[in-house]
Amino acid sequence: SNQKKMLLLLGNWPDQFGRTPLMYCVLADRQECAELLVKARVDVEKADKNQRTALHFAAKKGNWRILKLLLAKRASPLQRDVEGITPLHLATYSTSVRCLVLLLRHLEPGQVDAQDNHKRTALHWSAFYSHLQHTCLLIKYNSNIGIPDADGKTPLHWAANSTQPSAVLTVDCLLQAAPTDSILNWQDYEGRTPLHFAIACGNVTVVEALIASPGCNVTVHDNLFRTSLHWAALLGQYIVPLLLEKNTSGIIPSDNQGATPLHYAAQNNFTETVEAFLQHPSVYDEADLEGRTAFMWAAGKGNDAILQTLLRLNPELDVDLVDKYGTTALHAAAFSGHVGTVRLLLKLGAHIDAVDGMHHTALVRACEMGHKDVVQALIEELYRVKKKFRDVPKLKRNVPHYM
């Protein structure tokens, strides 16, 4: 009797992490040693300091033999660790589906959707890992594909937010199981749809799969009023033409600052994206809430190629157009210190004497920010203009105020 007590004491003895010999059998894949400990009746549900049991470790490692042994001794498949994670959640981590099969067979109806502390089910986890077999199996066991997690994300959000090549198969599996299009356009608590996430991670095959779904709405906006077109423009992706084609409304929405996707593409120097937008009949260079066009945004960032593209596609574009503060593209370029852009705008006919709402010229803005090279370029232009007027004799001239 004392020997049995000593054996149980040693068999359940925790180390500094709270892990028992049985847990180390799982971690080291020692099947025979685990069988001996189980036969000696050690506590199969004893938890470490993170409240993880031997079954948690077996599920995560994909060790189905030891997992089967532990389940036979009534180890709970729904035991939660400190983060609310169960062995069922962890079974989705392994590439093998055998552990998940065993655990599902030991669940009661309705237990498949046990949620962790972030309100994520095993289906959320499986979608995150892009494990197709696991996802299909969980759906077969009636896992609810519409449960939102603590951030409002469904399993489809997590599947779409993956760079894995197999992600598109997982997305297709979830879409086929979706009873309505509401899952396809479901917004998380920041207003983002699965399409937003697919664009953000650059998984073009997933984007194409989502767009190909009849109910996909590309004009759904997030909490900052940014549509999937805004996100694609921000990242300079070549899927913009696909999104424009899908946008049957003919309207290109603006975000909460009045900026269109064209503004985003221009600011980030994506020339091909800008061309794709402007070649679409529903897109033109409209101003944001501050009165700034994409041309002005590009000038402020020193994106010369964008300026040239905008002018090439719209030769009537006014380079001296002002925002609500009287600021021109030349002001923006000078203030930001983009000397190449300043020279380009002057070459394109921008007025060097244009003043903003505070009666500041581009030269004042450049001096204010200490951009020496821009100041030099503007002074050279002033001399050039002055010489031009002096070389025109006996002509009634309207000389700029700074002469």
Chain segment 127-139, per-residue pLDDT in tens? 999 999 999 999 9
- Output the DSSP codes for 34-59: HHHHHHTT--TT---TTS--HHHHHH
The residues, any chain, with a CB within 8 Å of residue 260's CB and separated by 6 or more, are 230, 252, 253, 254, 283, 286, 288, 294
Average pLDDT of the chain, as a whole number = 91
The answer, yes or no, to whether residue 394 has pLDDT greater than 60, is no
* CA dihedral of residues 360, 361, 365, 371 (deg, nearest 10): -160
Task: Output the pLDDT for position 128.
Answer: 97
Tell which residue, 207, 286, 280, has the closest CA to residue 249: 280
Task: Output the pLDDT for position 1.
Answer: 53
Q: What b/e string do you get for 334-363 counting C-beta neighbours within 10 Å, with b at 16 or more?
A: bbbbbbebbbbbbeeebbbebbbeeebbbb
pLDDT in tens, 229-268: 999 998 887 789 889 888 877 788 899 999 999 999 999 9
pLDDT in tens, 162-179: 999 999 999 999 999 987
CA angle 327, 235, 317 (to 5 degrees): 35
Query: Residue 348 corresponds to which tokens in the numbers above?
Result: 């394109």
Which residue segments constitute the domains of the chain, with CATH numbers given? Answer: 1-104 (1.25.40.20), 108-217 (1.25.40.20)
Task: Output the pLDDT for position 384.
Answer: 86
Task: Output the pLDDT for position 280.
Answer: 87
The answer, yes or no, to whether residue 3 has pLDDT greater than 80, is no
pLDDT in tens, 299-357: 999 999 999 999 999 999 999 999 999 999 999 999 999 999 999 999 999 999 999 99
pLDDT in tens, 6-58: 555 566 778 899 999 999 999 999 999 999 999 888 899 999 999 999 999 99
